[in-house]
Copies of this chain bind each other. A is one copy, B any other.
Amino acid sequence: MPSQYVSPTVDVPALATLLDGRYAEVRQLVRKNLAQHGDILRDAEEMSRADFRQRVLDVVVMMARTGQTGMGFPEEYGGGGDIGASIAAFETLAYGDLSVLVKVGVQFGLFGGAILQLGTKPHHDAYLADLVSGKLLGCFAMTETGHGSNVQALGTTAVYDAATAEFVISTPDDLARKDYIGNAAMHASTAVVFAQLVVNGQSQGVHAFVVPIRDETGEPVPGVRIEDCGQKIGLNGVDNGRLWFDGVRVPREALLNRYAEVTADGAYTSEIENPDRRFFTMLGTLVQGRVCVGGAAINASKVALAVAVKYGLRRRQFGTPGSGDEELLLDYGMHRRRLFPLLARTYALHFAQERLAADLHEVFSHEDASERDRRALESRAAGTKALGTWHASRTIQECREACGGAGYLSVNRFDALRADTDVFTTFEGDNTILLQLVAKGLLTDYRDAFGDLDQFGMVRFVASVAVETVMERTSVHKILDRLRDVVPANDPDTDPDAGLLDTSAHLNLLRWREEHMLAGVARRLKKGMDAGGDPAAVFSACQDHVIGAAHAHVERLVLEAFVDKVGAMETGPNREAMHLLCDLYALSAIERDRAWFMEHGRLSNAKSKAVTAMVNELCRRVRPICGDLVDAFDVPPEMLRAEIIH
């Protein structure tokens, strides 16, 4: 192991520019806006819930006036006409108070996005200009108490009454009440309500409707009952509420009719015949929300790391007796171990997210994007959101503990960060369910069947036809041969350090794992069904395997994005620094799953130990540049707040 390694001298401004990427200007605008409302972090701590909700609303409306929140909407309605810019703006908001971020997400992403994506010109004309300016406040009423992840089974109904050309919206029971709806408890005057459409007694599946819920005085309109969800773990600047509809009538035009229409005389029409496919197409248009949440989580991790790394570079503890000096926290091997693999993973996820946002921009800027591209985008969005949000929870918690008692004081930032981001792992799609979605796409190879299958349908499908496709695609034996040279198995004569810092070996390991796991899942599902199993039982028995395969897939995508980014950089110290982090990300991912690699003969026992030793060595190499690496995140000082680092 080379101990002569000299860490590169990082050019921080250049690295910050690299991270900001294509939308540097947008990100700077948001940083400026955040700094201007810097006192909101203290307000979050000191104000009553009611006052803080109002404060957050005020900031959101003020930000809307700067154009920051409307970048994804068409220019004719006051928007910026640039989806990529809107993602960049949203992500950067995560450096600040996250109630503001989520309120922006609810108003412009979910409510606005539904009107834009599911509605047609009359809806756009009626609502977009006002909602972009923050004059019309709305909410996105999808989740119900009884149905969060399984949206297709929502209980709310919208029955078409041809006599009056109206839909009648009803909540059949308390399990069907809309729940956890952001903006609903106080501020929204209008809701996009997802309900089972019934025309002529026939159910046509879930559709979205624009439903007024409050009058001009702010009182609920007749037939609508609203309840406050009350205190939450975090995000208490967002007013989440519950909604019940008691035969609320809305005109025929309230149906957001991009994908389906009900004629005045009560005929249901849609260009998409298959109802499941129609439902998933509608949902697919809302993918932007997931992309945003993932990006926000990654940026929240940056704030936590900035505080913890800066603290670790100031705070001393214990020391060599007699020397009188105490050691800096980050001179302890364990402290580096706690923080640096997370720092490397944050960079990796940053570049994966950049790639995802670019894909989103492409797909949504072109009407004729292929079905396959859309499905690939949805899968990548689901996976990146899951890994990004879990990463944020883990990183923020580790950073908090790495700051000891000081980390427990709200002023030092971790309180709000961890409380506010905590729900990210379960909202906009529960992470576990999202990884199942990723696995489904992989197993069905983005066939037409995608979208028609729930998880049990997937089991049947895999058991019938998909398994051969998957097996052929992954062609395990060929890969195994290909890898044999690259990754030595249990060979006692091989130098265990050999190839440890070989990027293509890292990629090959992650690819092999993904393909092997996927083929294994396909085989198990097929075997279970062939043996006459009940799909639910077959699925349940290998659910951890399904999710593991999806996880492996996304980790591979993340590594590829990082490797591509480093490859495209000019030679120099910054590229060297990124290469170092990329190795650390790859090796610490491999280390974390080294049991699997050993179980499958891909790592020898000796090599596995060498991986751990090399992760320690890479952490040592990151040590001299760790301050620069967090400075390049360019978190506005007002948003760092933490008195422990000043």
A: residues with CB less than 8 A from B are 45-46, 143, 145-150, 153, 179-180, 229-234, 316-321, 326-327, 331-334, 337, 393, 397, 400-401, 404-411, 414-415, 418-419, 422-423, 425-427, 430-432, 454-457, 534-536, 539-544, 547, 594-595, 598-601, 605, 608-609, 616
Contacts and interface: CB of A to CB of B under 8 A. Distances in A.
A323 to B, nearest CB: 9
Contacts of A143: 405
A540 B331 contact: yes
Contacts of A542: 333
B150 A230 contact: no
A456 B397 contact: no
B230 A409 contact: yes
A26 to B, nearest CB: 30
Contacts of A146: 316
A508 to B, nearest CB: 19
Given A233-B408, A233-B410, 9 more contacts: A153-B318, A230-B409, A232-B409, A233-B414, A320-B536, A321-B454, A333-B540, A405-B426, A408-B422
A334 B547 CA distance: 9
Given A153-B326, A541-B333, A605-B600, A320 B534 contact: yes
Contacts of A423: 405, 408
B231 A317 contact: no
B326 A541 contact: no
A544 B333 contact: yes
Nearest to A318: B150
A233 B333 contact: no
Contacts of A410: 230-233
B405 A180 contact: yes
Given A320-B456, A415-B232, A540-B333, A426 B409 contact: no
Given A229-B409, A334-B543, A148 B536 contact: no
The copy count of this chain in the complex is 2
30 contacts: A45-B230, A46-B231, A145-B406, A146-B316, A148-B317, A148-B404, A148-B405, A149-B317, A153-B326, A179-B405, A180-B408, A230-B410, A230-B411, A231-B411, A233-B408, A233-B410, A234-B408, A318-B456, A319-B456, A321-B454, A321-B456, A331-B536, A333-B540, A334-B544, A337-B543, A404-B430, A407-B426, A541-B616, A598-B598, A598-B599
Nearest to A436: B334
Contacts of A409: 180, 229-233
A547 B334 CA distance: 9
Contact of A149 (B318, B320, B536): B318
A295 to B, nearest CB: 20
B411 A426 contact: no
Contacts of A456: 318-321
A321 B415 contact: no
A194 to B, nearest CB: 15
A148 B401 CA distance: 13
A320 B233 contact: no
Contact of A332 (B415, B543, B594): B543
A425 to B, nearest CB: 6
A605 B616 contact: no
B616 A608 contact: no
Contacts of A148: 317, 404-405
A282 to B, nearest CB: 19
Contacts of A455: 318
Contacts of A419: 233, 419
Nearest to A455: B318
A229 B407 CA distance: 12
A231 B46 CA distance: 8
A13 to B, nearest CB: 32
Contact of A422 (B321, B400, B543): B400
Contact of A599 (B404, B411, B547, B609): B609
Contacts of A418: 233
Contacts of A547: 334
Contacts of A536: 319-320, 327, 331
A2 B409 CA distance: 52
Contacts of A605: 598-601
A542 B326 CA distance: 19
Contacts of A609: 599
A278 B410 CA distance: 37
Contacts of A426: 401, 404-405, 407-408
A277 to B, nearest CB: 15
Contact of A608 (B233, B401, B535, B599): B599
Nearest to A604: B599
Nearest to A276: B321
Nearest to A240: B409
Contacts of A232: 408-410, 415
Contacts of A180: 405, 408-409
A386 to B, nearest CB: 12
Contact of A233 (B179, B321, B415, B431): B415
A427 B405 contact: yes
A403 to B, nearest CB: 8
A143 B393 CA distance: 28
Contacts of A397: 393, 397
Nearest to A460: B321
A177 B563 CA distance: 48
A454 B393 contact: no
A427 B404 CA distance: 8
Contacts of A233: 400, 408-410, 414-415, 418-419
Contacts of A540: 327, 331-334
A38 B606 CA distance: 56
A326 B543 contact: no
